[in-house]
Chains A and B, each alone.
Chain A
Amino acid sequence: MLKFAPRTSTATRVSTPPPSGGAPVVLENLTRQFAATRALDGFSLAIEPGEFVALLGPSGCGKTTALRVLAGFERPDVGRVIVDGAEISDVPAQRRDMGMVFQSYSLFPNMTARDNVAFGLRLRHQRGAQRRSRAAELLELVGLADHVAKYPHQLSGGQQQRVALARALAIEPRVLLLDERLSALDAKVRAELRDQIREVQQRLAITTVFVTHDQEEALSMADRVCVMSRGRAEQIATPSTLYSRPATPFVAEFVGVSSRVNVARTGDSVELFGRDVKIRGDDFRLDLAVMDALLRPEDVDVEAAADGLGVVTHRSFLGATTRLEIGIGGEAVKADVASSDADGFELGTRVRLSVNARDVLVTEQRPVR
């Protein structure tokens, strides 16, 4: 169930330019083949200095591979990595100055939290006292001031992640890379950590790439989200654009909830629930007579009517809104109504539907399975 509501704060956040502390990053036409799978297939992405970009996509779409190419653990077969204007495709990982937080627990088991954080500083020849106090500072930044002397096995999962974050930040990296850090944690810890990462990232104005398959996480944290599918970037946009103006059917279906409705086309519009609605944009020059329209639940208005063609088949309470599933002409359409009005829509209620958006996204029909 989606609990995402388009953020109102996104617009204001994007309009203020990101503080320029980090380095700009360009990934250019990256391709990486593993035996039979092409993990990256002409993947390109340009990131502004200090920007927080999320790579979002289903499992196996190449997110981790993209991150590992950027970190220097994986060589692309084709393509270039450019950081701060310089191509670094041939620079080994240990000289890239990128702080990485890994997909699995990665703390050094033989070192305390403080020694873990100080590890990168030791390699940079910082004095003992200086690096210990710097490590303590960073642990305080991630809220672990009381745990500096603990070993990884004495820390909870969430605490270990935070130590790993502090360790990555300690080297003052040019780019911070985070891979699916939060998915293993319980909801509350996850939300806390999410806020903390975002806050630290903004305070330090560090260019950050964050990998996740969780759209809620991507949309709530990132300045921009890059939706990936099969090794390619489908759309790179701010969370609100991504949600309200998905560029491709894949994005429309992957981000947020959409219902597919089979429609007939006439000119530049389609017929939906007995009314003509314009086809969105000109991205889809589909020359088809029959296609599917993709509808957001909030774009569908519901009205109880004895002569309505739809029947409420399912309801779920989401807090402020209640989501109805309506069976209509063999299709299932999701629609949101205010929970205060939900009483009028018991299961089995006959309803009339209409579209309240000015245009709709269309795609070819889903192949029959």
Chain B
Amino acid sequence: MASLELEYSLAPTEPMEPFSTGRPTKRRIRGGRGLVLVIAALYFIIPFYAAMQFSLQDIQGHFSLQPLSQILTAPGFVSALWLSTQLAVATMMITLVLMVPTVIYVHLRMPRFRRVMEVVTMLPIVIPPIVLIVGVLQASPLWLKNSQYLLALAYVVLAMPFVYRSLDAGLGALDLKTLVEASRSLGSGWFSTILRVLVPNLRSALLSASVLTLALVFGEFTMASLDNWTTLPVWIALAPTNNPRINTLVAMIFLLATCLLLMGLVSLDRSKSRHSRRS
């Protein structure tokens, strides 16, 4: 549950800034700023530490790695993980197939529409997930209502804000019009232009969009539980294990994994933009 809010708070800030230009980061951290950083770090680290300490205990309350070994055999865990994985892959694919051409089109042909897009793609953040899912369940046809992929479609909507933003930033860094025209004048149609010229140059934007989508799907609770699917977050919150430590442990592992992925992403992009193009 907590992880849902965490991902949202990461989304608008993290992907935007590092992708745009690669301006030199300011090295000097003045005293005041250092203090803020420490407080912020503590704010995240203390609860994390407490949760880890709570979950890595044996029955007597001593530190133990034993709960780790119990995760895989915990009832329902594997199927919840598998369901979330399927949903994540489906969501990522649908999102990219829909959003990449759309954002490219907006950039090329309707640049003034970018403002509108920015606002429209923010809506899923403003509208509470519970409202969204109730609406979706009301409106969707029965065959879709019974499918787990209804959830994937809803997640596509949820993922839109940060996927749009990261693609928007990625495309903004390219001389899109010229690249597209160069590719076309060499004989390449739209499909192959997108695939061979634009996608390779949007790698980091696509990667960050994918990671954020992944984090979203592995963190979303409200919609999944209202649609009656035991995804990983639902399992974490509600699974009838006899040991609540395992649930906490799984949540922490996924939180850690997400953090590491994001940090890896940012540093990858930093090192790339350090010797990147001037144009």
**Separation of A73 and B181 alpha carbons in the complex (Å):** 7
B175-206 with Cβ < 8 A to chain A: 175, 178-179, 181-189, 192, 196-197, 200-201, 203
The answer to whether A123 and B178 touch (CB under 8 A), given A110-B200, A110-B201, is no
Q: Is B276 an interface residue (CB 8 A)?
A: yes
Contact of A106 among B181, B187, B196 (CB under 8 A): B181
Q: Is B27 an interface residue (CB 8 A)?
A: no
**Separation of A98 and B276 alpha carbons in the complex (Å):** 30
CB distance from A210 to the nearest CB of B (A): 16
Contact B178 A106 (CB under 8 A): yes
Contact A167 B186 (CB under 8 A): yes
Contact A106 B182 (CB under 8 A): yes
Contact B185 A108 (CB under 8 A): no
Contact of A108 among B182, B187, B192, B278 (CB under 8 A): B182
A284 surroundings in chain B (CB, below 8 A): none
Contact of B187 among A95, A102, A110 (CB under 8 A): A95
**Separation of A107 and B185 alpha carbons in the complex (Å):** 12
Q: Is B277 an interface residue (CB 8 A)?
A: yes
A153 surroundings in chain B (CB, below 8 A): 275-279
Contact of A94 among B178, B188, B196, B278 (CB under 8 A): B188
CB distance from A168 to the nearest CB of B (A): 8
The answer to whether A97 and B187 touch (CB under 8 A), given A106-B178, A106-B181, is yes
Contact B179 A106 (CB under 8 A): yes
Q: Is A256 an interface residue (CB 8 A)?
A: no
A76-116 vs B, CB cutoff 8 Å, 1 = contact: the mask equals: 00000000000000001111111110101111111000000
The answer to whether A94 and B187 touch (CB under 8 A), given A102-B181, A106-B181, A123-B192, is yes
B187 surroundings in chain A (CB, below 8 A): 94-95, 97, 120, 123-124, 171
Q: Is A119 an interface residue (CB 8 A)?
A: yes
Q: Is A71 an interface residue (CB 8 A)?
A: yes
**Separation of A107 and B188 alpha carbons in the complex (Å):** 15
A54-90 vs B, CB cutoff 8 Å, 1 = contact: the mask equals: 0000000000000000011100000000000000000
B237-279 with Cβ < 8 A to chain A: 275-279
Contact of B201 among A99, A100, A108, A164 (CB under 8 A): A108
B179 surroundings in chain A (CB, below 8 A): 106, 108
A71 surroundings in chain B (CB, below 8 A): 181, 185
A102 surroundings in chain B (CB, below 8 A): 178, 181-182
CB distance from A176 to the nearest CB of B (A): 11
The answer to whether A93 and B192 touch (CB under 8 A), given A102-B178, A105-B178, A110-B200, is no
Contact A119 B181 (CB under 8 A): no
Which partner residue on chain A sits nearest B192 by CB separation?
A123
Contact A109 B189 (CB under 8 A): no
B45-80 vs A, CB cutoff 8 Å, 1 = contact: the mask equals: 000000000000000000000000000000000000
Q: Is A310 an interface residue (CB 8 A)?
A: no
Q: Is A246 an interface residue (CB 8 A)?
A: no
A171 surroundings in chain B (CB, below 8 A): 186-187
**Separation of A123 and B183 alpha carbons in the complex (Å):** 10
Contact B186 A109 (CB under 8 A): no
CB distance from A64 to the nearest CB of B (A): 12
Q: Which residues of A line the B interface, CB within 8 A?
A: 71-73, 92-100, 102, 104-110, 119-120, 123-124, 151-153, 164, 167-168, 171
Q: Which residues of B line the A interface, CB within 8 A?
A: 174-175, 178-179, 181-189, 192, 196-197, 200-201, 203, 275-279
Shortest Cβ-Cβ A-B pairs, 9 listed: A120-B186, A153-B277, A106-B182, A110-B200, A100-B185, A106-B178, A93-B184, A94-B184, A123-B187
